[in-house]
Chains A and B, each alone.
Chain A
Amino acid sequence: MLSLLSNGILSVTFGNIVMMLISLGLIYLAIAKKYEPALLVPIGFATILANIPFSSAVDQFMDGVLHKGVLNVFFDVGIVTEIFPLLIFIAVGAMIDFGPLLENPVMFLFGAAAQFGIFATMIVATMLGFDIKQAASIGIIGAADGPTSIYVASRFAKELLGPISVAAYSYMSLVPIIQPPVIKALTTKEERMIKMEAKSVKITKTMRIVFPIAVTIIASLLAPASAALIGFLMFGNLLRECGVLNGLAKSAQNELANIVTILLGLSIGSTMTADKFLKPQTLMIIVLGLVAFILDTAGGVLFAKFLNLFLRKKINPMLGAAGISAFPMSARVIHILGRKEDPTNYLLMHAIGANVAGQIGSVLAGGILVALVSSLGGM
């Protein structure tokens, strides 16, 4: 009887201990440093549960019979079916105001350019020995958009979902540390001081309503593989903008976002077991995630500088860096950098325009990757 009770303690492995330390580290970063706490706390806690020997929270074989663990049930129901990331997109869509982008549509270009890191990192990952599906899942960390990363990784590389999610959400929190040195290295002080005129275009309610519907139809026709991603994002935005579903829009922004975030975090944590996580691959993914963010930022800034070669009214090239998704963190970073160079420079609304364009760009990039890898990769 006593041996039955002490079975759990005696079965703890070195890997279990390391994973518990990692989970405590994630919980510490989430609470003390406020690094994406909504996701890292559930991930960290589920990681503890998943690394306890014979834990009833995860699948266990006992006497040859499979006993389903609740965390694995969450994973099967929400991640394998791709439902959780898609529901999160409804919430994200309900939170986003596309007004600044409609006022300044040129920002769409930065939303595309700043996805450079996704594709470049995918190539680097294959050079390091990852297969094309794993490489695409790693590259998508550069979308700077957690749900898109989870969506693509759950499609192509479920075994890497834990490290990819942790990298994606951690680097999103670290945008204020990652982006400024890259931007400063690629721009001169004069360029960073370029002032942007405030836009006086009045965005009507009709435009706000038509926008999500039109984007869904056009994007889905151009890249059908992105229909679910972009469709759910834009559906959430339509709830927000239509004006007759304020209750639903608020529920999407709050209750839906909170509930699904908890379930998403717990599901991801269930994959972070020692045998899956403690591999050299994990370190490579963490490094490649950082590379993706750096290349995204560089791609956006360099594209803005390239545009400036042809424009009479120059664009502040820092705005290109806001084209990575990481909404609204990246926009704030660009605004603060601009104010540091010139306290009278007000870049926030332009940067938010680029930032929400990055949201659309990252979702489209995810859909395009799914389509291309599924076909070229021989799936």
Chain B
Amino acid sequence: MNVENVLTAVRVGLSGYVFLILTLVIFFGLVTLFVKLFAKGEDDGKENNE
């Protein structure tokens, strides 16, 4: 077992996983906001039409 290789893998694995989670947390936040804004806009539009 090459210890240096394993340590590199640990570094890549940890940073990769954390980065992935943060990226998808950003997506979660943006999509949530996006859906709320668009849904509200549509309802408003309907109300205005009515």
Interface residues of A (CB under 8 A from B): 101-103, 105-106, 108-109, 111-113, 115-116, 118-120, 122-123, 125-129, 131-132, 135-136, 139, 201-204, 206-207, 210-211, 214-215, 218-219, 222-223, 357, 360-361, 364-365, 368-369, 372-373, 376-377
User: A132 contacts B35, CB within 8 Å?
Assistant: no
| Complex interface: chain A residues within 8 A of B49 (CB) | none
> Of all chain A residues, which has the CB nearest B29?
A105
User: A377 contacts B42, CB within 8 Å?
Assistant: no
Given A116-B17, A214-B30, A207-B35 contact (CB < 8 Å): yes
| Complex interface: chain B residues within 8 A of A106 (CB) | 28
| Complex interface: chain A residues within 8 A of B14 (CB) | 119
| Complex interface: chain B residues within 8 A of A204 (CB) | 38, 42
| Complex interface: chain B residues within 8 A of A116 (CB) | 17
Interface residues of B (CB under 8 A from A): 1-2, 5-6, 8-17, 19-21, 23-28, 30-32, 34-35, 38-39, 42
Question: Nearest 8 A-B pairs (CB), nearest first?
Answer: A119-B13, A112-B24, A126-B9, A108-B28, A105-B31, A112-B21, A119-B17, A123-B9
Cβ distance B36 to chain A, nearest Cβ, rounded Å: 9
User: B31 contacts A112, CB within 8 Å?
Assistant: no
User: A364 contacts B13, CB within 8 Å?
Assistant: no
Cβ-defined partner of A218 (8 Å) among B2, B9, B26, B42 = B26
> Of all chain A residues, which has the CB nearest B37?
A207
User: B12 contacts A136, CB within 8 Å?
Assistant: yes
User: B9 contacts A202, CB within 8 Å?
Assistant: no
Cβ-defined partner of B13 (8 Å) among A103, A120, A360 = A120
Given A112-B24, A126-B9, A215-B27, A372-B35 contact (CB < 8 Å): no
| Complex interface: chain A residues within 8 A of B20 (CB) | 112, 115, 361, 364-365, 368
Cβ-defined partner of B25 (8 Å) among A109, A218, A365 = A109
| Complex interface: chain A residues within 8 A of B15 (CB) | 372
Complex Cα distance A259/B4, Å? 43
> Of all chain A residues, which has the CB nearest B14?
A119
Cβ distance B29 to chain A, nearest Cβ, rounded Å: 8
16 contacts across the A-B interface (CB closer than 8 A): A103-B35, A105-B31, A112-B25, A119-B14, A120-B13, A122-B12, A122-B13, A201-B35, A207-B35, A214-B34, A218-B30, A219-B23, A357-B24, A361-B20, A368-B20, A376-B11
Cβ distance B10 to chain A, nearest Cβ, rounded Å: 6
Complex Cα distance A122/B14, Å? 11
Complex Cα distance A105/B16, Å? 22
Given A122-B13, A364-B20, A365-B20, A108-B31 contact (CB < 8 Å): yes
| Complex interface: chain A residues within 8 A of B11 (CB) | 376
Cβ distance A323 to chain B, nearest Cβ, rounded Å: 10
Residue among B11, B31, B39 with max Cβ neighbours from chain A (10 Å): B31
User: A369 contacts B16, CB within 8 Å?
Assistant: yes
| Complex interface: chain B residues within 8 A of A223 (CB) | 19, 23
Cβ distance B40 to chain A, nearest Cβ, rounded Å: 11
| Complex interface: chain A residues within 8 A of B10 (CB) | 123
| Complex interface: chain B residues within 8 A of A131 (CB) | 2, 5
Given A102-B35, A123-B13, A136-B12, A108-B27 contact (CB < 8 Å): yes
| Complex interface: chain A residues within 8 A of B19 (CB) | 223, 368
> Of all chain B residues, which has the CB nearest A110?
B24
| Complex interface: chain B residues within 8 A of A368 (CB) | 16, 19-20, 23
Complex Cα distance A67/B20, Å? 45
Complex Cα distance A203/B38, Å? 9
Cβ-defined partner of A202 (8 Å) among B2, B8, B13, B42 = B42
Complex Cα distance A135/B28, Å? 30
| Complex interface: chain B residues within 8 A of A210 (CB) | 34
User: B16 contacts A109, CB within 8 Å?
Assistant: no
Cβ-defined partner of A119 (8 Å) among B16, B23, B25, B38 = B16
| Complex interface: chain B residues within 8 A of A357 (CB) | 24
